[in-house]
Amino acid sequence: MASRKCELLLVRHGIAEERSEDLDDAQRSLTPEGRERTSQQLERLLELDLACDLVLSSPLVRARQTAELIVSAGLAPELELAASLAPLADPLPLLERWLGPLSPRPGWKRLALVGHEPDLSTLAALLIGVPMARAPKAIRLKKAGALLLQWPAAPGAELQGSARLEMVLPPRVLLGRRQSRIQGGP
């Protein structure tokens, strides 16, 4: 792969149904509120010019639904499911494949990854070089929050510690609540 800037937009799934003994965790859907808030947050990501070449998503229903909203919002033209983005899976081989010289889509500039906590935060922390012992507490993504990682040039063989954290976009920022607080609103 030629030397070029590439980015990952990590997005946590939106607000989902509560856990219960009657419902398989993998089948938990976004709630109506979760769909609405996620759609609003995704519109803001689009306004920030954070469109992606592709969205890769955990196969769990709530993540897949979030990825489908990403496509519907126009942030990415299509999605692919990736088992390595499911809870407790290892996404590093997936990233090595996409970031390496044999990428399934050479020339991509930004990928969105939709998944779960604490997995996405841990992944981001490892990619920016936070020691493993501190990684689970270094960053926290709220539901439908996003963060952007960047490599100034295509990374080499070692992914861990090679990325730069460009921005963290929690829901309160994406939904404008911070702005209303600054202006004296609720």
Per-residue pLDDT reduced to its tens digit, 119-162:
999 999 999 998 877 776 778 899 999 999 998 776 666 788 88
Between 107 and 49, residue with greater pLDDT = 49
Cis peptide preceding 93, ω within 30 of 0 = no
> Are 8 and 126 in contact, with CB atoms under 8 Å apart?
no
Report the candidate in 40, 58, 39 with the shortest Cα–Cα distance to residue 116.
58
Give CATH for domain 6-182. Answer: 3.40.50.1240
| Alpha-carbon gap, residue 127 to 92, rounded angstroms | 9
C-alpha span between 12 and 146 (Å, rounded): 7
Beginning with the edge strand found earlier in the chain, give each strand of the sheet holding 6-12 in spatial order: 79-81, 54-57, 110-115, 6-12, 146-151, 164-169
Judge whether residue 185 has pLDDT over 80: no
CA end-to-end distance (rounded Å), the chain = 49
Classify 46 in phi/psi space as left (phi over 0), alpha (psi -120 to 50) or beta: alpha
Strand partners, 88: none
| Mean pLDDT of the chain, nearest integer | 88
State pTM to two decimals: 0.89
Q: How much is the pLDDT for 156?
A: 64
